[in-house]
Amino acid sequence: MLRVLLATTLLATPALAQEAADAVAPEGATAGLTPEAAAPVTSQDWMVAAANPLAAEAGARVLREGGSAADAMVAVQAVLGLVEPQSSGLGGGAFLVYYDAATGTLTTLDGRETAPMAATPKLFLTEDGERMGFWDAVVGGLSVGTPGTPMLMEEAHRRWGTASWSGLFDDAIGLAEDGFPTSLRLAMAVTGDAERLSVHPETAAYFLPGGTPLQKGETLRNPAYADTLRAMAEQGADALYEGEIAEGIVAAVRGAAQPGLLSLEDLAAYKVVEREAVCAPYHGAEVCGMGPPSSGALTVGQILAMLDRYDLAALGPDSPEAWRLIGDASRLAFADRGLYMADSDFVPMPDLLDEAYLAGRAVLLSGDMALESVEPGTPPWDHAALDLAPGLDLSLPSTSHISIVDADGNALSMTTTIENGFGSRVWAPGGFLLNNELTDFSFATHDDGRPVANRVEPGKRPRSSMAPTIVMRDGAPVLVIGSPGGSRIIGYVAQAIVAHMDWGMDPQAAVSMPHLVNRFGTYDLEEGTAAAALAPDLEALGYEVNVRGLNSGLHAIAVTPDGLIGGADPRREGVAIGE
Ligand code: GLY
Protein backbone atom coordinates (compact mmCIF):
# COMPACT_ATOMS: atom_id res chain seq x y z
CA MET A 1 0.00 0.00 0.00
CA LEU A 2 1.22 3.46 -0.86
CA ARG A 3 1.54 5.70 2.15
CA VAL A 4 2.48 9.32 2.27
CA LEU A 5 4.55 10.15 5.31
CA LEU A 6 5.29 13.49 6.90
CA ALA A 7 8.86 14.70 6.92
CA THR A 8 10.80 12.64 9.40
CA THR A 9 12.13 15.74 11.12
CA LEU A 10 8.61 16.51 12.29
CA LEU A 11 7.90 13.06 13.69
CA ALA A 12 8.33 14.18 17.24
CA THR A 13 7.09 11.09 19.10
CA PRO A 14 6.29 7.60 17.82
CA ALA A 15 2.63 7.96 18.79
CA LEU A 16 2.24 11.31 17.08
CA ALA A 17 4.16 10.02 14.09
CA GLN A 18 1.88 7.02 13.68
CA GLU A 19 -1.22 9.16 14.09
CA ALA A 20 0.10 11.60 11.54
CA ALA A 21 0.91 8.82 9.08
CA ASP A 22 -2.56 7.36 9.51
CA ALA A 23 -4.13 10.77 9.10
CA VAL A 24 -2.42 11.54 5.82
CA ALA A 25 -2.20 8.17 4.09
CA PRO A 26 -4.30 8.26 0.92
CA GLU A 27 -6.91 5.55 0.90
CA GLY A 28 -6.55 2.55 -1.35
CA ALA A 29 -3.65 3.88 -3.42
CA THR A 30 -2.24 1.58 -6.09
CA ALA A 31 1.26 0.57 -6.91
CA GLY A 32 2.54 2.83 -9.68
CA LEU A 33 2.55 6.58 -9.65
CA THR A 34 -1.12 7.17 -10.44
CA PRO A 35 -2.75 7.32 -7.02
CA GLU A 36 -6.24 6.13 -6.32
CA ALA A 37 -6.76 9.31 -4.37
CA ALA A 38 -10.01 10.31 -2.75
CA ALA A 39 -12.58 11.66 -5.20
CA PRO A 40 -12.03 15.33 -5.96
CA VAL A 41 -14.43 17.91 -4.58
CA THR A 42 -16.76 19.24 -7.27
CA SER A 43 -18.97 22.31 -7.31
CA GLN A 44 -20.80 24.60 -9.67
CA ASP A 45 -20.36 28.11 -8.28
CA TRP A 46 -17.34 28.61 -6.06
CA MET A 47 -14.56 26.75 -4.29
CA VAL A 48 -11.84 27.38 -1.73
CA ALA A 49 -8.91 25.10 -0.89
CA ALA A 50 -6.67 25.91 2.07
CA ALA A 51 -4.43 24.19 4.60
CA ASN A 52 -6.81 24.03 7.57
CA PRO A 53 -10.54 23.21 7.66
CA LEU A 54 -11.36 26.17 9.94
CA ALA A 55 -9.62 28.53 7.53
CA ALA A 56 -11.24 27.01 4.45
CA GLU A 57 -14.65 27.21 6.17
CA ALA A 58 -14.14 30.92 6.92
CA GLY A 59 -13.47 31.47 3.22
CA ALA A 60 -16.45 29.32 2.27
CA ARG A 61 -18.75 31.42 4.45
CA VAL A 62 -17.65 34.57 2.63
CA LEU A 63 -18.12 32.94 -0.78
CA ARG A 64 -21.51 31.50 0.21
CA GLU A 65 -22.63 35.01 1.10
CA GLY A 66 -21.60 36.29 -2.33
CA GLY A 67 -18.14 37.64 -1.49
CA SER A 68 -15.33 37.69 -4.01
CA ALA A 69 -12.21 35.55 -4.09
CA ALA A 70 -10.29 38.49 -2.61
CA ASP A 71 -12.76 38.80 0.26
CA ALA A 72 -12.52 35.09 0.96
CA MET A 73 -8.73 35.21 0.96
CA VAL A 74 -8.77 37.85 3.73
CA ALA A 75 -10.97 35.60 5.89
CA VAL A 76 -8.85 32.52 5.14
CA GLN A 77 -5.55 34.28 5.89
CA ALA A 78 -6.88 35.76 9.14
CA VAL A 79 -7.80 32.25 10.37
CA LEU A 80 -4.64 30.58 9.03
CA GLY A 81 -2.53 33.02 11.06
CA LEU A 82 -4.31 31.68 14.16
CA VAL A 83 -4.71 27.94 13.54
CA GLU A 84 -1.55 27.36 11.48
CA PRO A 85 0.72 30.01 13.03
CA GLN A 86 3.85 28.00 12.19
CA SER A 87 3.33 28.58 8.45
CA SER A 88 1.96 32.04 7.70
CA GLY A 89 0.43 35.09 9.29
CA LEU A 90 0.42 38.82 9.85
CA GLY A 91 4.15 38.77 10.59
CA GLY A 92 5.03 37.33 7.18
CA GLY A 93 4.76 37.91 3.46
CA ALA A 94 2.84 36.54 0.50
CA PHE A 95 2.49 36.57 -3.28
CA LEU A 96 -0.91 36.70 -4.93
CA VAL A 97 -1.98 35.96 -8.53
CA TYR A 98 -5.46 37.25 -9.38
CA TYR A 99 -7.72 36.79 -12.38
CA ASP A 100 -10.38 39.49 -12.51
CA ALA A 101 -13.28 38.06 -14.52
CA ALA A 102 -14.92 41.45 -15.09
CA THR A 103 -11.94 42.79 -17.02
CA GLY A 104 -10.42 39.49 -18.12
CA THR A 105 -7.08 40.56 -16.65
CA LEU A 106 -4.51 38.64 -14.70
CA THR A 107 -2.11 40.39 -12.37
CA THR A 108 0.13 39.70 -9.41
CA LEU A 109 0.69 41.45 -6.09
CA ASP A 110 4.04 41.23 -4.34
CA GLY A 111 3.66 41.34 -0.56
CA ARG A 112 7.14 39.99 0.07
CA GLU A 113 9.04 40.96 3.20
CA THR A 114 11.71 43.59 2.72
CA ALA A 115 15.19 43.98 4.16
CA PRO A 116 15.41 46.86 6.65
CA MET A 117 17.13 50.00 5.35
CA ALA A 118 19.88 49.44 7.93
CA ALA A 119 20.72 45.99 6.50
CA THR A 120 23.96 45.48 4.59
CA PRO A 121 25.16 42.61 2.39
CA LYS A 122 27.12 41.37 5.42
CA LEU A 123 23.98 40.82 7.51
CA PHE A 124 24.60 37.10 7.89
CA LEU A 125 28.39 37.13 8.06
CA THR A 126 30.31 36.79 11.31
CA GLU A 127 32.95 39.31 12.35
CA ASP A 128 35.48 37.01 10.66
CA GLY A 129 33.60 37.26 7.38
CA GLU A 130 32.34 33.68 7.61
CA ARG A 131 28.73 32.75 6.90
CA MET A 132 26.68 32.44 10.06
CA GLY A 133 25.27 29.06 10.97
CA PHE A 134 21.76 28.70 9.56
CA TRP A 135 19.94 28.40 12.89
CA ASP A 136 22.06 31.17 14.42
CA ALA A 137 20.74 33.40 11.67
CA VAL A 138 17.13 32.21 11.74
CA VAL A 139 16.25 32.35 15.44
CA GLY A 140 15.99 35.93 16.66
CA GLY A 141 15.46 39.39 15.28
CA LEU A 142 18.20 39.51 12.65
CA SER A 143 16.22 37.44 10.13
CA VAL A 144 13.03 39.51 10.36
CA GLY A 145 12.02 41.45 7.26
CA THR A 146 9.27 44.07 7.08
CA PRO A 147 6.03 42.05 6.93
CA GLY A 148 3.89 42.37 3.81
CA THR A 149 0.88 40.11 4.39
CA PRO A 150 -1.39 42.61 6.22
CA MET A 151 -0.95 45.22 3.50
CA LEU A 152 -1.41 42.61 0.76
CA MET A 153 -4.72 41.55 2.32
CA GLU A 154 -5.89 45.13 2.33
CA GLU A 155 -4.67 45.88 -1.20
CA ALA A 156 -6.40 42.80 -2.64
CA HIS A 157 -9.63 43.80 -0.90
CA ARG A 158 -9.30 47.41 -2.07
CA ARG A 159 -8.97 46.24 -5.69
CA TRP A 160 -11.33 43.29 -5.85
CA GLY A 161 -13.31 43.13 -2.63
CA THR A 162 -17.10 43.38 -2.61
CA ALA A 163 -17.86 42.45 1.01
CA SER A 164 -17.43 44.78 3.96
CA TRP A 165 -13.77 44.69 5.09
CA SER A 166 -14.51 44.64 8.80
CA GLY A 167 -16.79 41.58 8.59
CA LEU A 168 -14.04 39.47 7.03
CA PHE A 169 -12.32 39.08 10.40
CA ASP A 170 -15.35 37.81 12.33
CA ASP A 171 -14.52 34.11 12.15
CA ALA A 172 -10.89 34.61 13.11
CA ILE A 173 -11.77 36.93 16.01
CA GLY A 174 -14.36 34.46 17.30
CA LEU A 175 -11.92 31.55 17.12
CA ALA A 176 -9.14 33.56 18.76
CA GLU A 177 -11.40 34.52 21.65
CA ASP A 178 -13.40 31.33 22.13
CA GLY A 179 -10.51 29.03 21.36
CA PHE A 180 -10.01 26.25 18.83
CA PRO A 181 -8.58 22.74 19.08
CA THR A 182 -4.84 22.55 18.43
CA SER A 183 -4.37 20.50 15.28
CA LEU A 184 -2.22 17.40 15.09
CA ARG A 185 0.18 19.12 12.76
CA LEU A 186 0.65 22.14 15.01
CA ALA A 187 1.12 19.90 18.05
CA MET A 188 3.75 17.86 16.21
CA ALA A 189 5.53 20.97 15.01
CA VAL A 190 5.64 22.45 18.52
CA THR A 191 7.00 19.23 20.03
CA GLY A 192 9.64 18.96 17.33
CA ASP A 193 10.75 22.57 17.73
CA ALA A 194 10.42 22.94 21.51
CA GLU A 195 14.02 23.99 22.05
CA ARG A 196 13.97 26.86 19.56
CA LEU A 197 10.48 27.90 20.69
CA SER A 198 11.85 28.25 24.20
CA VAL A 199 14.46 30.87 23.29
CA HIS A 200 12.05 33.79 23.70
CA PRO A 201 9.81 33.69 26.82
CA GLU A 202 6.78 35.19 25.05
CA THR A 203 6.95 32.54 22.32
CA ALA A 204 7.40 29.77 24.85
CA ALA A 205 4.45 31.01 26.91
CA TYR A 206 2.13 30.59 23.91
CA PHE A 207 3.39 27.32 22.43
CA LEU A 208 4.67 25.61 25.57
CA PRO A 209 2.35 26.82 28.33
CA GLY A 210 3.80 25.88 31.71
CA GLY A 211 6.76 24.40 29.85
CA THR A 212 4.72 21.65 28.14
CA PRO A 213 4.29 21.61 24.36
CA LEU A 214 0.73 22.18 23.14
CA GLN A 215 -1.10 18.91 22.74
CA LYS A 216 -3.35 17.87 19.89
CA GLY A 217 -6.92 18.86 20.70
CA GLU A 218 -5.90 21.28 23.47
CA THR A 219 -7.98 24.43 23.27
CA LEU A 220 -5.85 27.35 22.22
CA ARG A 221 -6.92 30.98 22.66
CA ASN A 222 -5.15 34.11 21.44
CA PRO A 223 -6.85 37.26 22.77
CA ALA A 224 -3.96 39.48 21.65
CA TYR A 225 -4.48 38.28 18.08
CA ALA A 226 -8.22 39.01 18.38
CA ASP A 227 -7.35 42.57 19.43
CA THR A 228 -4.96 42.95 16.50
CA LEU A 229 -7.59 41.73 14.04
CA ARG A 230 -10.12 44.11 15.56
CA ALA A 231 -7.70 46.98 15.05
CA MET A 232 -7.11 45.84 11.48
CA ALA A 233 -10.86 45.54 10.87
CA GLU A 234 -11.41 49.10 12.13
CA GLN A 235 -8.31 50.94 10.88
CA GLY A 236 -7.13 48.82 7.97
CA ALA A 237 -3.63 47.42 7.57
CA ASP A 238 -2.13 50.72 8.79
CA ALA A 239 -2.87 49.39 12.27
CA LEU A 240 0.14 47.11 11.86
CA TYR A 241 2.47 49.56 10.11
CA GLU A 242 2.24 52.45 12.59
CA GLY A 243 1.17 52.95 16.18
CA GLU A 244 1.12 50.52 19.06
CA ILE A 245 1.19 47.22 17.15
CA ALA A 246 4.05 48.41 14.95
CA GLU A 247 5.96 49.59 18.02
CA GLY A 248 5.44 46.15 19.53
CA ILE A 249 6.87 44.48 16.41
CA VAL A 250 9.96 46.68 16.42
CA ALA A 251 10.50 46.21 20.16
CA ALA A 252 10.24 42.42 19.79
CA VAL A 253 12.78 42.40 16.92
CA ARG A 254 15.23 44.69 18.68
CA GLY A 255 14.86 42.95 22.02
CA ALA A 256 15.20 39.45 20.58
CA ALA A 257 17.97 37.00 21.40
CA GLN A 258 19.77 38.12 18.28
CA PRO A 259 18.63 41.75 17.91
CA GLY A 260 17.47 42.75 14.45
CA LEU A 261 17.45 45.97 12.48
CA LEU A 262 13.76 46.51 11.68
CA SER A 263 12.60 50.05 12.44
CA LEU A 264 9.34 51.97 12.57
CA GLU A 265 10.51 53.77 9.41
CA ASP A 266 10.80 50.41 7.59
CA LEU A 267 7.23 49.55 8.57
CA ALA A 268 5.90 52.99 7.59
CA ALA A 269 7.63 52.80 4.20
CA TYR A 270 6.40 49.30 3.26
CA LYS A 271 4.59 48.98 -0.11
CA VAL A 272 2.80 46.14 -1.87
CA VAL A 273 4.00 46.09 -5.48
CA GLU A 274 1.83 45.21 -8.46
CA ARG A 275 3.84 43.27 -11.03
CA GLU A 276 3.04 41.85 -14.42
CA ALA A 277 2.30 38.12 -14.31
CA VAL A 278 5.11 35.96 -15.70
CA CYS A 279 3.70 33.41 -18.17
CA ALA A 280 5.24 30.46 -19.97
CA PRO A 281 3.69 28.36 -22.73
CA TYR A 282 2.63 24.78 -22.07
CA HIS A 283 0.51 22.69 -24.43
CA GLY A 284 -1.19 25.76 -25.89
CA ALA A 285 -1.97 27.17 -22.44
CA GLU A 286 -0.13 29.88 -20.50
CA VAL A 287 1.23 28.94 -17.09
CA CYS A 288 1.20 32.24 -15.21
CA GLY A 289 2.56 33.22 -11.85
CA MET A 290 4.74 35.43 -9.73
CA GLY A 291 7.87 36.93 -11.16
CA PRO A 292 10.87 38.32 -9.24
CA PRO A 293 11.50 38.61 -6.39
CA SER A 294 10.06 35.13 -6.63
CA SER A 295 11.88 32.62 -8.77
CA GLY A 296 8.66 30.56 -8.83
CA ALA A 297 7.07 31.41 -12.16
CA LEU A 298 10.37 31.75 -14.03
CA THR A 299 11.67 28.38 -12.84
CA VAL A 300 8.36 26.50 -13.23
CA GLY A 301 8.03 28.25 -16.60
CA GLN A 302 11.49 27.23 -17.79
CA ILE A 303 10.88 23.61 -16.76
CA LEU A 304 7.56 23.39 -18.57
CA ALA A 305 8.70 25.30 -21.65
CA MET A 306 11.56 22.81 -22.06
CA LEU A 307 9.27 19.82 -21.45
CA ASP A 308 6.73 21.16 -23.96
CA ARG A 309 9.03 19.83 -26.69
CA TYR A 310 8.78 16.24 -25.42
CA ASP A 311 5.83 13.83 -25.32
CA LEU A 312 5.33 13.22 -21.60
CA ALA A 313 1.73 12.15 -22.21
CA ALA A 314 2.90 9.21 -24.31
CA LEU A 315 5.57 8.25 -21.79
CA GLY A 316 3.18 8.25 -18.80
CA PRO A 317 3.86 8.73 -15.08
CA ASP A 318 5.57 5.37 -14.50
CA SER A 319 8.22 5.89 -17.16
CA PRO A 320 11.81 6.52 -15.91
CA GLU A 321 12.35 8.39 -19.19
CA ALA A 322 9.61 10.86 -18.25
CA TRP A 323 11.39 11.49 -14.94
CA ARG A 324 14.75 11.87 -16.70
CA LEU A 325 13.24 14.65 -18.79
CA ILE A 326 11.48 16.30 -15.83
CA GLY A 327 14.50 15.93 -13.54
CA ASP A 328 17.03 17.36 -15.96
CA ALA A 329 14.73 20.17 -17.14
CA SER A 330 14.46 21.08 -13.47
CA ARG A 331 18.23 20.95 -12.94
CA LEU A 332 18.80 23.24 -15.94
CA ALA A 333 16.20 25.69 -14.64
CA PHE A 334 17.67 25.63 -11.12
CA ALA A 335 21.12 26.40 -12.55
CA ASP A 336 19.72 29.59 -14.11
CA ARG A 337 17.79 30.33 -10.92
CA GLY A 338 20.96 30.16 -8.83
CA LEU A 339 22.91 32.54 -11.05
CA TYR A 340 20.41 35.06 -12.33
CA MET A 341 17.25 35.24 -10.24
CA ALA A 342 16.80 37.79 -7.48
CA ASP A 343 14.78 40.92 -6.77
CA SER A 344 14.72 42.50 -10.24
CA ASP A 345 14.25 45.97 -8.72
CA PHE A 346 17.89 45.62 -7.62
CA VAL A 347 19.47 43.18 -10.06
CA PRO A 348 19.01 43.34 -13.83
CA MET A 349 17.98 39.99 -15.24
CA PRO A 350 18.21 38.45 -18.71
CA ASP A 351 15.17 37.13 -20.59
CA LEU A 352 14.95 33.73 -18.94
CA LEU A 353 11.81 32.71 -20.86
CA ASP A 354 13.15 33.63 -24.30
CA GLU A 355 11.72 31.05 -26.71
CA ALA A 356 14.87 30.46 -28.74
CA TYR A 357 17.00 30.24 -25.62
CA LEU A 358 14.75 27.61 -24.03
CA ALA A 359 14.54 25.68 -27.30
CA GLY A 360 18.34 25.43 -27.11
CA ARG A 361 18.26 24.37 -23.48
CA ALA A 362 15.60 21.74 -24.31
CA VAL A 363 17.96 20.16 -26.87
CA LEU A 364 20.26 19.31 -23.94
CA LEU A 365 17.57 16.87 -22.78
CA SER A 366 17.64 14.81 -25.96
CA GLY A 367 20.12 12.16 -24.75
CA ASP A 368 19.41 8.88 -23.02
CA MET A 369 21.13 9.39 -19.68
CA ALA A 370 21.07 11.94 -16.88
CA LEU A 371 23.13 15.04 -17.73
CA GLU A 372 26.60 14.60 -16.29
CA SER A 373 26.86 18.23 -15.36
CA VAL A 374 24.54 21.19 -15.53
CA GLU A 375 25.59 24.81 -15.96
CA PRO A 376 23.61 28.02 -16.17
CA GLY A 377 22.87 29.06 -19.73
CA THR A 378 23.44 32.34 -21.53
CA PRO A 379 19.99 33.81 -22.02
CA PRO A 380 19.71 37.03 -24.02
CA TRP A 381 20.16 40.37 -22.28
CA ASP A 382 18.79 43.63 -23.57
CA HIS A 383 21.61 45.38 -21.73
CA ALA A 384 25.12 44.51 -20.58
CA ALA A 385 25.40 41.10 -18.98
CA LEU A 386 26.59 41.06 -15.38
CA ASP A 387 29.37 38.81 -14.24
CA LEU A 388 27.50 37.18 -11.38
CA ALA A 389 28.41 34.31 -9.09
CA PRO A 390 25.90 31.55 -8.32
CA GLY A 391 24.29 31.87 -4.91
CA LEU A 392 22.63 29.43 -2.58
CA ASP A 393 19.62 30.12 -0.45
CA LEU A 394 18.51 27.71 2.19
CA SER A 395 14.76 28.25 2.23
CA LEU A 396 13.18 25.39 4.13
CA PRO A 397 9.64 24.07 3.97
CA SER A 398 6.96 25.91 5.89
CA THR A 399 4.46 28.20 4.17
CA SER A 400 0.83 27.69 3.09
CA HIS A 401 -1.14 27.92 -0.13
CA ILE A 402 -4.68 29.22 -0.78
CA SER A 403 -6.61 28.59 -4.03
CA ILE A 404 -10.02 30.22 -4.57
CA VAL A 405 -12.52 30.61 -7.43
CA ASP A 406 -15.64 32.68 -6.72
CA ALA A 407 -19.12 32.62 -8.21
CA ASP A 408 -18.27 35.40 -10.69
CA GLY A 409 -15.32 33.44 -12.06
CA ASN A 410 -12.60 35.45 -10.31
CA ALA A 411 -9.64 33.24 -9.43
CA LEU A 412 -6.99 33.71 -6.73
CA SER A 413 -3.79 31.82 -6.09
CA MET A 414 -1.79 32.97 -3.06
CA THR A 415 1.21 31.44 -1.35
CA THR A 416 1.84 32.88 2.09
CA THR A 417 4.70 32.35 4.51
CA ILE A 418 6.71 33.27 7.55
CA GLU A 419 9.55 31.21 5.93
CA ASN A 420 10.80 28.56 8.39
CA GLY A 421 8.33 26.66 10.58
CA PHE A 422 7.56 29.27 13.32
CA GLY A 423 9.63 31.85 11.39
CA SER A 424 12.16 33.70 13.55
CA ARG A 425 10.51 32.31 16.73
CA VAL A 426 10.03 35.95 17.77
CA TRP A 427 6.52 36.63 19.07
CA ALA A 428 5.03 40.06 18.44
CA PRO A 429 2.89 41.44 21.29
CA GLY A 430 0.01 41.59 18.78
CA GLY A 431 -0.26 37.79 19.05
CA PHE A 432 1.63 36.50 16.01
CA LEU A 433 5.04 35.23 14.98
CA LEU A 434 7.49 37.27 12.98
CA ASN A 435 9.09 35.90 9.82
CA ASN A 436 12.70 34.87 9.21
CA GLU A 437 12.40 35.70 5.50
CA LEU A 438 15.76 37.45 5.31
CA THR A 439 17.47 34.06 5.47
CA ASP A 440 16.07 33.50 1.96
CA PHE A 441 18.88 35.84 0.87
CA SER A 442 22.28 34.36 0.07
CA PHE A 443 24.47 34.63 3.15
CA ALA A 444 27.52 35.13 0.92
CA THR A 445 27.87 38.51 -0.77
CA HIS A 446 30.45 37.57 -3.41
CA ASP A 447 32.22 34.53 -4.74
CA ASP A 448 35.67 34.93 -6.20
CA GLY A 449 35.12 38.68 -6.50
CA ARG A 450 31.84 38.35 -8.38
CA PRO A 451 28.62 39.53 -6.67
CA VAL A 452 25.83 37.10 -5.84
CA ALA A 453 22.54 38.37 -7.31
CA ASN A 454 20.53 37.36 -4.23
CA ARG A 455 22.78 39.06 -1.68
CA VAL A 456 21.24 41.19 1.06
CA GLU A 457 20.77 44.88 0.24
CA PRO A 458 18.76 47.52 2.11
CA GLY A 459 15.15 47.65 0.93
CA LYS A 460 15.58 44.54 -1.23
CA ARG A 461 13.22 41.53 -1.18
CA PRO A 462 14.76 38.07 -0.74
CA ARG A 463 14.43 35.62 -3.59
CA SER A 464 11.51 33.28 -3.10
CA SER A 465 10.52 29.93 -4.58
CA MET A 466 6.84 30.47 -4.00
CA ALA A 467 4.90 29.70 -7.15
CA PRO A 468 1.24 30.67 -6.87
CA THR A 469 0.03 29.76 -10.35
CA ILE A 470 -2.99 30.22 -12.59
CA VAL A 471 -2.96 28.29 -15.86
CA MET A 472 -4.79 30.27 -18.53
CA ARG A 473 -6.28 28.95 -21.75
CA ASP A 474 -7.92 31.24 -24.28
CA GLY A 475 -7.70 34.10 -21.79
CA ALA A 476 -9.49 32.36 -18.91
CA PRO A 477 -8.29 30.29 -15.93
CA VAL A 478 -8.32 26.50 -16.21
CA LEU A 479 -6.22 25.58 -13.16
CA VAL A 480 -5.44 27.43 -9.91
CA ILE A 481 -2.58 25.84 -7.96
CA GLY A 482 0.35 26.35 -5.60
CA SER A 483 2.19 24.75 -2.68
CA PRO A 484 4.47 25.30 0.29
CA GLY A 485 7.78 23.43 0.42
CA GLY A 486 10.81 25.77 0.25
CA SER A 487 12.65 25.54 -3.04
CA ARG A 488 10.95 22.18 -3.73
CA ILE A 489 7.74 24.19 -4.28
CA ILE A 490 8.90 24.59 -7.86
CA GLY A 491 9.10 20.83 -8.40
CA TYR A 492 5.80 20.14 -6.66
CA VAL A 493 3.93 22.68 -8.75
CA ALA A 494 5.55 21.69 -12.06
CA GLN A 495 4.87 17.99 -11.39
CA ALA A 496 1.21 18.57 -10.47
CA ILE A 497 0.70 20.60 -13.65
CA VAL A 498 2.23 17.79 -15.73
CA ALA A 499 0.10 15.22 -13.85
CA HIS A 500 -3.04 17.17 -14.67
CA MET A 501 -2.27 18.33 -18.20
CA ASP A 502 -0.27 15.38 -19.57
CA TRP A 503 -1.44 12.44 -17.54
CA GLY A 504 -5.06 13.44 -17.16
CA MET A 505 -5.16 13.32 -13.37
CA ASP A 506 -7.94 15.24 -11.68
CA PRO A 507 -6.76 17.88 -9.17
CA GLN A 508 -7.05 15.54 -6.18
CA ALA A 509 -4.98 12.83 -7.87
CA ALA A 510 -2.48 15.40 -9.18
CA VAL A 511 -1.80 16.80 -5.69
CA SER A 512 -1.77 13.33 -4.08
CA MET A 513 0.63 11.63 -6.45
CA PRO A 514 4.02 10.64 -5.01
CA HIS A 515 6.70 13.28 -5.50
CA LEU A 516 9.97 13.08 -7.40
CA VAL A 517 12.01 16.28 -7.21
CA ASN A 518 15.40 17.10 -8.68
CA ARG A 519 16.96 20.52 -8.16
CA PHE A 520 20.72 20.09 -8.06
CA GLY A 521 21.38 16.54 -9.31
CA THR A 522 20.23 14.22 -6.54
CA TYR A 523 16.75 12.85 -7.19
CA ASP A 524 14.53 13.17 -4.10
CA LEU A 525 11.97 10.36 -4.06
CA GLU A 526 9.06 10.45 -1.66
CA GLU A 527 9.57 8.01 1.18
CA GLY A 528 6.96 5.30 1.63
CA THR A 529 5.46 5.78 -1.81
CA ALA A 530 5.69 4.22 -5.25
CA ALA A 531 8.18 6.96 -6.16
CA ALA A 532 10.81 5.14 -4.11
CA ALA A 533 10.39 2.06 -6.31
CA LEU A 534 11.81 4.06 -9.24
CA ALA A 535 15.16 4.35 -7.47
CA PRO A 536 16.94 1.52 -9.35
CA ASP A 537 15.77 2.82 -12.75
CA LEU A 538 16.86 6.36 -11.94
CA GLU A 539 20.20 5.15 -10.62
CA ALA A 540 20.68 3.24 -13.86
CA LEU A 541 20.12 6.54 -15.70
CA GLY A 542 22.97 8.07 -13.69
CA TYR A 543 21.21 9.84 -10.82
CA GLU A 544 21.99 9.68 -7.16
CA VAL A 545 18.73 9.16 -5.32
CA ASN A 546 17.61 10.15 -1.86
CA VAL A 547 14.42 8.65 -0.41
CA ARG A 548 12.90 11.15 2.03
CA GLY A 549 9.73 12.85 3.16
CA LEU A 550 8.56 15.43 0.62
CA ASN A 551 6.06 17.51 2.46
CA SER A 552 4.14 19.55 -0.06
CA GLY A 553 0.80 21.25 0.62
CA LEU A 554 -0.68 21.60 -2.84
CA HIS A 555 -4.15 23.05 -3.25
CA ALA A 556 -5.65 22.98 -6.72
CA ILE A 557 -8.89 23.95 -8.42
CA ALA A 558 -9.61 23.09 -12.06
CA VAL A 559 -12.10 25.32 -13.86
CA THR A 560 -13.95 23.21 -16.42
CA PRO A 561 -17.04 23.68 -18.63
CA ASP A 562 -18.85 21.35 -16.19
CA GLY A 563 -17.89 23.20 -13.03
CA LEU A 564 -15.06 23.36 -10.51
CA ILE A 565 -12.97 20.37 -9.45
CA GLY A 566 -10.70 20.72 -6.43
CA GLY A 567 -8.12 18.83 -4.45
CA ALA A 568 -6.26 19.29 -1.17
CA ASP A 569 -2.89 17.71 -0.45
CA PRO A 570 -3.34 14.65 1.80
CA ARG A 571 0.08 15.32 3.33
CA ARG A 572 -1.39 18.27 5.25
CA GLU A 573 -4.64 19.08 7.01
CA GLY A 574 -6.30 21.09 4.28
CA VAL A 575 -9.60 20.69 2.50
CA ALA A 576 -11.36 21.95 -0.58
CA ILE A 577 -14.90 23.23 -0.03
CA GLY A 578 -17.26 24.19 -2.82
CA GLU A 579 -20.94 24.70 -3.65
N1 GLY B 1 10.35 31.25 2.24
C2 GLY B 1 9.90 30.40 1.22
C3 GLY B 1 9.97 31.02 -0.10
O4 GLY B 1 9.75 32.21 -0.19
O5 GLY B 1 10.25 30.36 -1.06
- Is residue 486 within 8 Å of residue 492, measured between CB atoms? no
29 in Cβ contact with 2 (< 8 Å):
yes
Q: Tell me, what's the pLDDT at 37?
A: 76
Residue 455: CATH number of its domain: 3.60.20.40
Cα separation, 545 vs 313, in Å, equals 24
Q: What is the Cα–Cα distance from 376 to 547, expressed in whole angstroms?
A: 27
pTM of the model: 0.94
For ligand 1, what atom is nearest to the CA of residue 296?
5
CA-based nearest residue to 496, from 425, 439, 555: 555
Confidence bin at 382 (pLDDT 50/70/90): confident
The letter for the amino acid at 321 is: E
> Is 304 within a domain?
no
d(CA 486, ligand 1 centre) in Å: 5
Task: Specify the pLDDT at position 527.
Answer: 95
Other C-beta atoms closer than 10 Å to the C-beta of 393 total 22
* Ligand 1 proximity of 464 Cβ (cutoff 6 Å): yes
**Rounded to whole angstroms, how far apart are CA atoms 97 and 274?**
10
Residue 238 C-alpha from the chain's centroid: 25
465 lines ligand 1 (CB under 6 A): yes
Q: Is residue 157 part of a domain?
A: yes
User: Has residue 233 been placed in a domain?
Assistant: no
pLDDT mean over 440-454? 91
pLDDT digits (tens, 9 = 90+) for 523-557: 999 999 999 999 999 999 999 999 999 999 999 99
Distances (CA, A) of 212 to 100, 195, 205, 224: 47, 11, 9, 21
Which H, E and C letters describe 53-86, residue by residue?
Answer: HHHHHHHHHHHHCCCCHHHHHHHHHHHHHHHCCC
User: Best of 464, 483, 551 to mutate for ligand 1, by most ligand atoms within 8 A of CB?
Assistant: 464
Distance 205 CA to ligand 1 centre (A): 27
Mutate to test the pocket of ligand 1, among 110, 337, 400, 440 (most ligand atoms within 8 A of CB): 440
Confidence of residue 16 (pLDDT cuts 50, 70, 90): very low
Q: What is the mean pLDDT of the chain?
A: 93
Task: Give a yes or no: residue 134 inside a domain.
Answer: yes
Q: Write down the pLDDT at residue 3.
A: 26
Q: What's the number of domains the chain is made of?
A: 1
Dihedral pair phi/psi, residue 381, rounded to 5°: -110, 145
The band of 31, judged by pLDDT with boundaries at 50, 70 and 90, is low
Distance (angstroms) between ligand 1 centre and the Cα of 353 equals 21
Residue 232 maps to a domain: no
Q: Does ligand 1 come within 6 angstroms of the Cβ of 439?
A: no
Q: 399 catalytic, yes or no?
A: yes
Q: What is the pLDDT of residue 393?
A: 56
CB 161 within 8 A of CB 232: no
Is the predicted pLDDT of residue 12 greater than 80, yes or no? no
pLDDT at 83: 98
**Is residue 14 pLDDT above 50, yes or no?**
no
pLDDT digits (tens, 9 = 90+) for 149-169: 999 999 999 999 999 999 999
Average pLDDT on 54-71 reads 98
Longest dimension (CA), the chain: 63
- Nearest residue by C-alpha to atom 4 in ligand 1: 464
**Is 467 domain-assigned?**
yes
How far apart are the CA of 178 and the centre of ligand 1, in A? 32
Domain ranges, residue 62: 3-113+130-163+401-578
